[in-house]
A and B are shown apart, each in its own frame.
Chain A
Amino acid sequence: MRKSGVSNTVTTILAVVLLLIGLAGGYLISSTVSMSPTVVTKTAFVTVGGTVTERITITTAVAQPTGPPLKIGMTISKDGLFAPLTSGYEAFNREWLNWVNNVRKGVYIRELGVRVPVEIIMYDDRSQPDLAIQLYTKLATEDKVHILVSPYSADIGIQLIPTVAERFRVPMIMAEASTKDMWNKGYKYAVTSMVPYWEDNENGWAATYFDMLAKTKWAKTIAFVGWDITWAIDTYNSGKSLARKAGLQIVYDQLLAPGTTDFSGVIRELRTVNPDVVYLAMFGPVNALFIKQAAEAGFKPKEFHVIEYGAGFVKSLGPLAEGVTSDIFWTPSFKYYQSNLLNELMTKAGLSWVDWQWTELRMIIFQMIVSAVEDAGKLDREAINDALHRLQIMTVSGPLIIGPQGYGNIGLVTIQIQNGRIQTVWPQHLANATYIHP
């Protein structure tokens, strides 16, 4: 015992020192105020559900506040799995807020007779579902936001609707997170702009893609590979049905456990089957991985179709990305309402569309919020919720009508990588390039 005496003392001192540092830092709620000329960002640290995380409030430095602010709440992930997919939204939110408060001069509230500023409160959910739920609860109860915006993940989103939106009666707009089971339960407080893309008609995720295949008539056989996880499975199932309707023969059909990253077996089988098109229903980086492994094994179908490219697709695949098709809600070549603004905001936020392909959904959400609040005429959750459910507005992706079930009608167009750039290829009235196929 005596022998380890010295190191025990050292350990005790080490532990105490660390604790002191921690305590000292802990009792200082660091508040950093950063000023871009017109937008103020306040960062604070809060403890929610056993974890400490970051809370970012964006407001404008308004000389005289005209009225109580319209508060929008959401979480983004600055850490963990979803960080590469959502961390850019912080900058985007800031740019939009700058625009809405300083250029548009706020949102008009009929009941008060003034234009009020918008305030966005964002928490960092660190990609943890537990924490996300706690944070949304906090947004609804303590921060008293008027509207919530969903996180990226549909898995988390589907839990949030009953546990926060319905429970506290706060309207929640689902962003990227949408899946069939959100819309068939009679929820009253959730809306989304997206079509019910799991359907196998013109609403389907790859509906325009299969329309294109049917019209160009070049493909005969198709293979389906996907992860059995929300969103991916929806596009997988609707894709199969749409493929059949387009006159294609499904020669391979393999659902994998989510998280599978070794595709050598599947690729082996695909080689013997030799389909014209391979439809990959997984997350962007995983689709890229599949294509790489296929090339390594000497398998290259006439075309790969992926349900999303994800960040860094072209960069990580290089020449392998040529010709790969996918689906998206908006491209920079669109000319609909405020598309120019969206381009501008993304540039200012330093976001390249190639890597942040779902930003238009966020823009549409902002467009929805502004219209709904002005339609409602007051800063009241119920009124705003009602307004959202009967919304008919023009968005960057075209006209949006929210149906009684809560989902909208914003559909997808087909894009293809040509010469390292993403081009819109279908439908023809929105295309800016011609579809390249064998």
Chain B
Amino acid sequence: MRSVKYALIVAGFVFAASLGILAPTYYVSLLTFMLLYGILALSYDIMGGLTGYMNLGHIIFYGIGAYVFALTVNSFHNVVGSSYLPSILFPAFVMSMITTGLVALLLSYPLFRLRGFYFAVASLGLISFTNLLFSSPELAPITGGFSGITLISSVAKLTSPQLSYYLALGFFIITGTVHFLLRRSRVGLNLKCIKEDEEISETSGINTFRNKQIALVFSAMLAGIAGGCYMWFQTYTNPRFVFSVEFAFLPITIALLGGSGTFIGPLIGAIIFTIVYQLLVVNLPSLTKLILGLVLIGVGMGASRGLMEIYSLILRRRDNTS
């Protein structure tokens, strides 16, 4: 059983890798978005699923990652030499990761004084705050203010859908691995206890703050890298797009859709969401949201553990009958 599972995973990756070359360009773009959403959902899940803390403000890290990526590229591209791509991309991604990690570190001190409902609302409030911050005319010389930020054209013209796709795929694999390893690690075990009952965990000697902080920082760095990837892919963004309360619910929805707490769950959620959304939009562009809403209600009512629950139920039935 186990070797079948691993073989499937490997086959999956080979398939995904080949898609980058074989699929028509539009589909590669589509898949890149799907992977980015998947990374967002997975990194969200490190807090939401493993720790039980609904970080509704998760996309802040995505947006910051995107901005920092652009700023790094724009500032240093002539220092490092525009034509050699890795020398531009690598430091930019690293900067995105470091910055979001630091932000998460700093935020953990005030944020973790809150629990549950309050934590969720506070993190949601942070989105609006960040939006205002990045849109403000005072910071506009750096962030571009209301109009947003662009990658400098000498670098932007080097981007390609294929490159973005492979970067996204790579980061997705990394994110999935981190999620998987974290869950199995000592920290993951602690987080599970915290999720069950925080007071008892505290009294049994687990340093809840430190563990939660680790989770948040990982969660943030992964989202930050995804943000950098997004910036590379699109070469442009603005605060209303990445720091919007509506967009904030997307990773959570996807994670819940597929199944929170596992690493396959958010991936499935991302795939299903992207496919359903795209294909629905073809037929009923003006009623897409409506149908999406119906699907969400369906999943919410049918299986609160997401589609993963259905999958495991099917497995269980199969085991029973075999």
Contacts and interface: CB of A to CB of B under 8 A. Distances in A.
Interface of A: 1, 4-5, 7-8, 10-12, 14-15, 18-19, 21-23, 25-26, 30, 45-54, 79, 129-130, 133-134, 155, 158-159, 162-163, 166-167, 228-230, 257-258
B295 interface: yes
A167 B156 contact: yes
B234 A51 contact: no
A130 B236 contact: yes
Given A11-B298, A11-B310, A130-B234, A25 B279 contact: yes
Given A8-B302, A8-B303, A167-B157, A25 B29 contact: no
Nearest to B276: A22
Contact of B33 (A14, A45, A50): A50
Given A12-B310, A18-B291, A230-B147, A50 B32 contact: yes
B236 A166 contact: no
B41 interface: no
Contact of B283 (A12, A21, A155): A21
Given A18-B276, A130-B241, A258-B146, A26 B291 contact: no
A75 to B, nearest CB: 15
B279 A163 contact: no
A26 B29 contact: no
B302 A4 contact: yes
A158 B146 CA distance: 12
Contact of A11 (B146, B147, B235, B301): B301
B286 interface: yes
Contacts, number: 128
A229 B301 CA distance: 44
A134 B148 CA distance: 16
Contact of A7 (B26, B291, B302): B302
27 contacts: A4-B302, A7-B302, A8-B303, A19-B275, A22-B275, A22-B278, A25-B283, A26-B282, A46-B26, A47-B26, A47-B29, A48-B29, A51-B278, A52-B282, A53-B281, A129-B238, A130-B234, A130-B237, A159-B150, A162-B153, A163-B156, A163-B236, A167-B153, A228-B137, A257-B132, A257-B135, A258-B135
Given A19-B276, A163-B236, A52 B298 contact: no
A26 B274 CA distance: 13
Interface of B: 26-27, 29-30, 32-34, 132, 135, 137, 146-148, 150, 153, 156-157, 234-238, 241, 272, 274-276, 278-283, 285-286, 291, 295, 298-299, 301-303, 307, 309-310, 313
Contacts of A158: 147
A155 B148 contact: yes
A20 B43 CA distance: 30
Contacts of B147: 155, 158-159, 230
Contacts of B281: 51-53
Given A26-B282, A155-B146, A230-B147, 9 more contacts: A4-B303, A7-B302, A8-B310, A11-B302, A15-B299, A22-B283, A26-B283, A50-B274, A230-B146
A155 B26 contact: no
Interface of A is mostly: helix
Nearest to A12: B310
Contacts of A46: 26
Given A12-B310, A45-B282, A79-B285, A229 B30 contact: no
Contacts of A48: 26, 29
Given A22-B279, A22-B283, A50 B30 contact: yes
A50 B156 contact: no
Nearest to B27: A47
Nearest to A45: B282
B274 to A, nearest CB: 7
A204 to B, nearest CB: 22
Contacts of B236: 129-130, 133, 159, 163
A8 B309 contact: yes
Contacts of B234: 49, 130, 133-134
A129 B303 contact: no
B104 to A, nearest CB: 26
Contacts of B26: 46-48
